[in-house]
Every structure is written in structure tokens, then in C-alpha cells.
Amino acid sequence: MAMPVLRRIIAVSVTAVVVASLAWAAPAMAGPSVTAAPSAPAAPAVSTVTTGSSILTAPTDCANLPARAATLARTSGPGTATCVRENGRAAPTRSTSERAGVMSTPCGSNSWIATRTTICGEESFQLVVFTVPQGVIVGTIDYGVRVEVMLSGRSDRWDTYVRFTGYRGAGAIAGTTLNAVPLCGQMCSYLSSPGITTLFGPGSVVPGAASFSSQYGGPYVSWQSSASWQFTFSNPAWTPPISNSLSITPPAHRCDDALPGRPVGCTVAFVEPTHTISSLAHPTYARHIGLALNFGLPSRLTRTTDGTRNESNRRIACTDPQGRPRPAGFSCDEYPFASTYEGAASHAYGRTFFILGGINGGGQGFSCQVPWLQPRRQGDSGGYSACMIPDWENTDAGSLLGLFYYDNRVIDRDMFRIRLV
């Protein structure tokens, strides 16, 4: 999937007036028989989208300013001009403060970092003011830009947040103003989109926010949506009084109307979500899944929303050819899940678990009470698994799996992972 990144569009022009160096004087701005041991709770799956040395696609250096200034002088005469370059240091990756008006998310420096429902990128840059035709630097502002996108699997609305932080500055920068506006990109409609116009310099922390919705792409399909922030710096002492335009465009996310019985929602499709199963909340269910995984059944599965295939998976895994009665209070659980392409219908055989206690009766035995399938033996990592587990566990675990699919927009043929804790 093509993923757009931060882009810079350079368009500098100048008119006559030479600006002398000014000091910054303005105030600061504001084993197989046992399950795996429990581990720490899972953090959200994170994917890094590397975009090279800068999260901006266009070159950002201000090299050979005399030559650039001389060229500008021939077309526009003397004055001042601006350019942007990388700051030479990574932007701070501290948690976003309430003052900035945005949420704390995993955020990358020189790259985008994404979870299933967030995208975040941050980097430091320097705005350079230089004279034309001399090419002498007369002012600089070191600043950072952080952009976040917040999505919901239950809604086609998404929110974007931006934060501009002024770190240092000197020279001809007094009276500099930051101007920023949110822009719709692919399959996008505005909900709220206030722009930013404010004085900016060392010590400034300027937040911005905008809300969008995805234009509807149709039933049972998915589509890409995106939005961006475009900004400039301006100063009446510069000629021209406005800098080049910068455009920040996070990677596009996916919206869909592809979950039967659910409304439209949006997620980051290139991040595989992880479904966490708790051995404390659902001990028998987790024991079955843990044994299946320990014997080599896959922990990475593929969702299917085909109701006919789901029913076939359940029927094959949980039908006793002899029709024997089920244990009271128990129901049949299958792994891989019936809602996956790896379910029972894709296998030639199935197995169950019957584990005796250890030597002299010690250890923890386990019986799945599935007499129509052979117990799985060491080295057998094929087929599917079936096990009787308490009704309440089966019902509860199934509901949680359904909510996981919903919140993470796990649609047909999406991959996801299983983790036990």
C-alpha cells in the first residue's frame, strides 16, 4: 500500500528590501503439557513506517546560501528569503502534554509510528532567514513538529492533532507568526477545522486540532482516507513577508463498511492487531488455546467473514459422529477459531487434549472431554483442535473476540495474532 509522508513544497520568492540583523527581544511564548507462563500485559502492536533521514520527503537543507541568494537576486532583487533545514537533532519524544491539547501516543522521530488506531510522527527543523544577494544568515528558529492521527474502529470520524514547539531562536525573527490550516485529502469531509495564526518563537508551544469524517465508499468494501496540515511562517520584516509552504501528510488509513452488522469504522490496516487471552479471566479456554499453541498450531490467523465457512468450521470441529451427550455446563471450543480461514474446514483431521498428571499422580492433568478425536501427541502440530470448556467461558470469550474484531476492524482476510497472558 502506498503511504504518503510529510511533504515540503518549496516556493520562495523575494522583493526588494535588505533586513539588518535583529536580536530576539520578544518574551518567550507562551512444555506441551502446560500453557506458557503468564507474561506482562500486551502493549499495542506498533509499526514503524521509515521514510529516510527526514519525515519530510522534499530536501530540507539550506546548503550554499550565497549561490541561492544570488539566483534570487537576479529575479527579485535584494531583500531576505527563508528556507527550512533539519535541525541536526531528533525532536523530543516526551509524552504530549495537556497544554498541547493532544493525546499521548507512541511517536517516531524521523519516521511515522502507528498502532491499529493511531499514527504519530515528530521531528525538529530550523527556519533560516538569509539576506539576498549576500546569502548571510540573519535569523533562525529551531522548532519541532508533532502530528498525531486518532482513529476509531466504531466510527468513520477521525481527529488530527498538531503541535509546534519553538526550541531556540536568534536574529531577525521578532514578530514571526505561525500560520497553519488542516486540509482534507483522500475520501475526506470536514467536521471541524480551525486554523492557527499566532506569534511563534523560542518557548512557544502551539497546539492545533481538526476533525474529519470519511466519505462513504460503499457497502462491504474498504477505502483509504487521509488529511494533512499545511503551514507557513510570516513576518512583516521579511521580504517577502511569508516563508515557503510546508505540508504534513500522515500515511493514509483504511475505513470500511465490511463488517456484517456493524457501522463504518477506520483503522491503520498495515498494523496487525493482537488479541490477548487472559488465563485468569478464562482459565479453561486459555488452557486449551495455550496447549494448541505449544504444540505448534498457528498464533497468526486470518479472519473470514463468510458465514457459510464459519458454520462449516464449527460443524467439522465440534460434531460427534456418534451423537454422544455433551458434559453438562460445557460447550465445544475450536482452535483455530471458526471465524478464520485456518479453521477446521481447512484441515484433513483434528485432535484434542488428554493429559495425565505427572509421575505418581503429580502435576496438572487436563482432559478436553472430546471422545470423537484422538489426543494430540508430541510432534503433531497439524490439524485443528477441539475441547469442551465451561459454557460461560465459551460465551464470554466469544463475545470478547467479536469486540476485538469490531474495535480493530479485522475484516475479511485481515491477519491478526493471538497472545496469552
pLDDT number for residue 149 = 95
Three-state SS string over the chain comes to CCCCCEEEECCCCCCCCCCCCCCCCCCCCCCCCCCCCCCCCCCCCCEEEECCCCCECCCCCCCCHHHHHHHHHHHHCCEEEEEEEECCCCCCCCCCCHHHCCCCCCCEECEEEECCCEEEEEEEEEEEEEEECCCCEEEEEEEEEEEEEECCCCCCEEEEEEEEEEEEEEECCCCCEEEEEEEECCCEEEEECCCEEEECCCCCEEEEEEEEEECCCCCCCEEEECEEEEEEEECCCCCCCECCEEEECCCCEEEECCCCCCCCEEECCCCCCEEEECCCCCHHHHHHHHHHHHCCCCCEEEECCCHHHHHHHHHHHHCCCCCCCCCCCEEEEEECCCCECCCHHHCCCEEECEECCCHHHCCCCEECCCCCCEECCCCCCCCEEEEEEEHHHHHHHHHHHHHHHHHCCCCCCCEEEEEEC
Which regions of the chain are under pLDDT 50? 1-41, 90-103, 359-362
What pLDDT, in 10s, does the model give residues 288-343? Answer: 999 999 999 999 999 999 999 999 999 999 999 999 999 999 999 999 999 999 99
pTM score of the predicted model: 0.81
Task: List the domain boundaries for the chain.
Answer: 7-267, 274-420
Q: What is the pLDDT of residue 39?
A: 40
